[in-house]
Amino acid sequence: MTRGLKYDIPGRDWRIDPDQVLAQGWPGVFADAPGGSAPSPRPRSQRLVVEIGFGRGEFLVDQAERNPDTGFIGIELSHKRCLKMARRLARTELSNIRLLELRAERVVSELLTWKSVDCFWINFPDPWPKKRHALRRLLRADFVRDLALRLRPGGVVYVATDHPEYAGQIATVLSGDSLLSNGYAPMPYLPEVPGRLATSFEIEWRALDRDLHYFMYVRV
């Protein structure tokens, strides 16, 4: 017997849609305070961090708890995961996360302006391991250039994968973009990053002796 999804949100629903962003801009979206009080827009200099494909949400929540003055955007294509995350956030005091159930390419190209993002996190994107599906991978040269253009100078894109062949492709497209510089040079990536939160997936994969690959590239 399968367990049914619960659709009620036991508190504030932090999911948003593209029209809200286009109408209010990100400062307006993050100024929408809980409690029904009149929102006062936060300064445009507020840090903005984006996680693409937040999955179970452990990493996104941990980052938001550690950085309460930073605005976090969580992007997830799965309706089920986005709904579960909305329910989870509604049971917390966190108010600095906004969720978008949308393709990452659309969010980046249509909803994020140039030089507006401090950090992108892309943790373990789908490797699409079958050769005929490789073109579906997220980390392609055109998408990496879109990310780079939206980073502020000194902004960072972090990528992690457990798939060796995909790691090779990621290294190629990141190092091939002239707007980005390898923060782990001369190493193309690190096998682990001290102090980084290990998600449940990472703990499971390490137990299986999988090699993990962590990339850090900085906007020059």
By annotation, the residues acting in catalysis are: 126
Helix, strand, or coil (residue 162): coil
The Cα–Cα gap between 56 and 8 comes to 18
Q: H or E stretch including 18?
A: helix 18-30
Contacts from 4-13 at CB under 8 Å and sequence distance 24+?
A: 5/80, 5/83, 5/84, 6/87, 7/83, 8/87, 9/86, 9/87, 9/90, 10/87, 10/90, 10/91, 11/89, 11/90, 11/91, 12/89, 12/90, 12/95, 13/86, 13/90
| Closest C-alpha among 157, 160, 140, 169 to residue 213 | 160
Q: How many CB atoms lie within 10 A of CB 205?
A: 16
Instruction: Give the CA radius of gyration of the chain.
Output: 18
- H runs (alpha helix) in 164-209: 164-175, 200-207
Find out whether 158 and 215 touch, Cβ atoms under 8 Å: yes
Find out whether 193 and 154 touch, Cβ atoms under 8 Å: no
